[in-house]
Amino acid sequence: MAASLTISRLLAAPRSLSLSSTTTTTTKASLFSAKPFSSKSSYAPFSLKHQTHPKPLKFSTTAAKPISATISVGDKLPESTLSYLDAAGDVQTVTVSELTKSKKAVLFAVPGAFTPTCSQKHVPGFVEKSAELKAKGVDTIACISVNDAFVMKAWKESLKIGDEVLLLSDGNGNFTKAIGVELDLSDKPVGLGVRSRRYSLLAEDGVVKVLNLEEGGAFTSSGADDILKVL
């Protein structure tokens, strides 16, 4: 066998190579003194140009966190003060206990006044179904948002609604934080800051009987029809 072997002959050679007497001492030494192959070696026999390697797949071992809130079914709603503007434009306040004591009340929240889903679907849905809800024994229907009372009044006027649904301001987010449904939108392009998750709840004498909490601003299970189903 010649001292210089071609790649094709090497690949075709049997496992046990027999070196001829013409192989030089240096060649023998280099062959037999080579370190055995290690699985940790970065040895690559060929270098192919334009060869591409897909990026390794990454799998998350962390399970998605369930949607949760501080408040839950069976809990008493925490006391808090909400505000609104009356017909004369004066600021008025109402407490959660005044809205719910000895009453069947539906409270629902939106991420923000004048936002598309809230204005086109969530609030109009409760306005449309308000008569059906009250026929089922609901005394109070109120929408709560982390907006000031002036914004809430302007929003009510733009929606052209009466008193079918109360639009109440939780301007400082006190009630929203008390029931643990804050939604941080400060890193979004529109810069909404800390708002509320979308939800709807049914309370009887201030005790939560039904809680439909959405993921972020999604609108899938907190509409008027979802409350009607359980009445």
Q: What number is the average pLDDT over the span 221-229?
A: 97
Name the more confident of 97 and 192.
97
The structure's pTM equals: 0.70
**Which has the closest alpha carbon to 150: 180, 176, 114, 118?**
114
Q: What domains, with CATH codes, occur in the chain?
A: 79-229 (3.40.30.10)
Integer Cα distance of 134 and 182 in angstroms: 29
According to DSSP H, which parts of 79-189 are helical? 96-100, 116-117, 123-128, 130-135, 149-159, 174-178
Res. 44: pLDDT tops 50:
no
What lies within 8 Å, CB to CB, of 57 at 6+ separation is: none
What lies within 8 Å, CB to CB, of 106 at 6+ separation is: 126, 133, 138, 140, 141, 142, 200, 201, 202, 203, 227
* pLDDT at residue number 192: 85
Q: Among 28-37, 78-87, 114-123, 165-174, which stretch is predicted with the lowest mean pLDDT?
A: 28-37
Place of tokens 């690949």: 11
Q: What number is the average pLDDT over the span 215-226?
A: 90
Res. 200: pLDDT tops 60:
yes
Q: Is 143 a catalytic residue?
A: no
Measured in residues, the chain has a length of 231
- Exposure b/e, 112-130, CB count within 10 A at least 16 = b: bbebeebbeebbebbbebb
82, 96, 118, 213: the active-site residue? 118
Burial class (CB in 10 A: 0-12, 13-18, 19+), 166: middle
Judge whether 170 and 82 are in contact, CB under 8 Å.
yes
What lies within 8 Å, CB to CB, of 100 at 6+ separation is: 77, 107, 140, 203, 205, 206
* pLDDT at residue number 137: 97
